[in-house]
Chains A and B, each alone.
Chain A
């Protein structure tokens, strides 16, 4: 028996399904063992391919963002140009001077972040924040500013959250609010207790869309390493520390603090939509996590119990959450601050501004290129909205920052069209 003969017989058996007759018993036995191992690998192929197909849209979106940022960086190094700041901005025709300034600042920010990115492109996913912050996801997270650097066009702040330090990029596009008053992004300083919403970049920093500053300073929370929840015997209650929603609206998760233990909880997208519809700021809200029959393994449902401050649908920095309320987490919420929330019906649209009728009256809601549109079960198509579909008559729940008499939308969850 030679190894060449075994290799040839194995090759032929793979191609034809039969071991050639000229193989000796010993050769036949060896080829059979090789075939068993090869078949074992083949058995798992369909599952791996299904995983790959499922992950492709998210990975593709991440790669497209990477390419766009790299090109913006190259453009800013070569011949500086004013960017329109994104496809939605371009399609909505954002002509405000603010948008132009913001876009220019954005390029500078991208240039700095791209430098960071190029140094971190080999980083793995071993850190706690890496488990929580998936590139491309929309996230809401709270924390306390421990470092602030940079002036002029951009400012990078390090925020100590309950699961570690996060780099957050602020620029003129970021809506910074304090007690419903718009602040300059350069005013964010060390010690500020903040609530941030934005998109996770490939290097897992957050490009902040909105940042709400609490009335009083905070102390950095104690860091706890979160653990991925994979199985659940009985329902568990906790306080939301992070909310994230993937662009495809399929993958979503929350990090909850359950009696000092932090759990990363993959949840059904339906749950996170309900969460966003329940209040402007899911972070800080109390929820019950449970398993429902028929759910995919490793995916859970959450039921919103409420915020510490009932009815705090509007920005209310300084409000105290009911951390001591029955059933609440024993951990102390580090940031008693909320974004603005509006729940109403779209009555009109002019370019990038939606007119929304709510219990508070008529409000103009500015849709920015960065605004995350959650279409849920509205029956609306993203392309149609981008092309100018007014969405008049649809229920909407908006989270964002109130600036003057307008709300700069961070997330808009569209509901069904009301029949009157």
Chain B
């Protein structure tokens, strides 16, 4: 058999096997199988943490919300429809809602002040590191929820445009459009804070 023909078939087989494994994991998760949830936690905790980190005031708050995501998911496991929906997408959806509720509950104005203060006081390193984290946090917070989500998925979680589109339930063109607007808005804020001048 020639490789040019064989490779796509192998890729299809591989993709099908992964899909079956993911579906089986999701079935077990729906049954609240402890082993399945252990796998899910190990596979996705760091992504969920990264996803919520910029929305929160500090590492402990991000840890708390990230942990809550798995607790909520486990509690609602029997309601999860695994057909065609990746578990990660479901977890990210829960994370978005929890983060939004959390911020709303704290009151946006006071929250943002505390957010900046926590960034200033929680950095272990140099002044430039403080500036960097603060600038990015301020820039991210200036975006809409969808814009934050698309940037987190693309540049913190390394999702492709196609994966991001699936996770956000949008077309790839819509994701590209959202991404461009989000980056442009972010860059405007970074420029205003002088970030680019310091980094170049």
Other than A34-B184, A52-B66, give 20 A-B pairs with Cβ distance below 8 A: A30-B184, A33-B183, A34-B187, A38-B183, A41-B186, A45-B156, A48-B49, A48-B53, A51-B49, A51-B59, A59-B63, A59-B70, A66-B74, A67-B74, A70-B75, A118-B75, A124-B101, A135-B67, A231-B121, A297-B125
Interface: B136 (CB within 8 A): yes
Interface: A21 (CB within 8 A): no
Name A45-83 residues within 8 Å CB distance of B: 45, 47-49, 51-56, 58-60, 62-64, 66-67, 70-71
Contacts of B184 in A (CB 8 A): 30, 33-34, 37
Interface: B169 (CB within 8 A): no
Interface of B is mostly: helix
Interface: B16 (CB within 8 A): no
Q: Is the beta-carbon distance between B50 and A66 smaller than 8 angstroms?
A: no
Contacts of B180 in A (CB 8 A): 3, 6-7, 10, 34
Interface: A11 (CB within 8 A): yes
| Contact pick for A125, options B61, B71, B186, CB 8 Å | B61
Interface string of B62-81 (1 = CB under 8 A from A): 11111110111011000000
In order of increasing CB-CB distance, the 9 nearest A-B pairs are: A52-B49, A297-B124, A230-B121, A37-B187, A55-B63, A7-B176, A52-B46, A37-B183, A59-B67
| Contact pick for B41, options A47, A60, A230, CB 8 Å | A60
A97 to B41, CA, bound (A): 37
Least CB separation from A135: chain B residue: B67
Nearest CB of B to A30, in Å: 8
Given contacts A11-B176, A40-B195, contact A48 B121 (CB under 8 A): no
Q: Is the beta-carbon distance between B176 and A66 smaller than 8 angstroms?
A: no
Contacts of A34 in B (CB 8 A): 180, 183-184, 187
Given contacts A51-B62, A134-B60, contact A124 B106 (CB under 8 A): yes
Q: Is the beta-carbon distance between A230 and B122 smaller than 8 angstroms?
A: yes
Least CB separation from A32: chain B residue: B187
Contacts of A52 in B (CB 8 A): 45-46, 49-50, 53, 66
Contacts of A62 in B (CB 8 A): 67
Nearest CB of A to B55, in Å: 12
Interface: B159 (CB within 8 A): no
A30 to B67, CA, bound (A): 39
Nearest CB of B to A63, in Å: 5
| Contact pick for B105, options A37, A56, A124, CB 8 Å | A124
Report, as a range, how many residues of chain B touch the other chain: 35 or more
Interface: A333 (CB within 8 A): no
A64 to B156, CA, bound (A): 26
Interface string of B176-200 (1 = CB under 8 A from A): 1101100110110010000110010
Contacts of B27 in A (CB 8 A): none
Residue in B34, B37, B64, B139 whose Cβ sees the most chain A Cβ within 10 Å: B64
Given contacts A38-B155, A44-B133, A58-B63, contact A297 B199 (CB under 8 A): no
Interface: B102 (CB within 8 A): yes
Contacts of B132 in A (CB 8 A): 40, 43-44
Interface: B19 (CB within 8 A): no
A192 to B117, CA, bound (A): 40
| Contact pick for A47, options B71, B133, B190, CB 8 Å | B133
Q: Is the beta-carbon distance between B50 and A33 smaller than 8 angstroms?
A: no
A4 to B64, CA, bound (A): 40
Contacts of B141 in A (CB 8 A): none
Interface: B165 (CB within 8 A): no
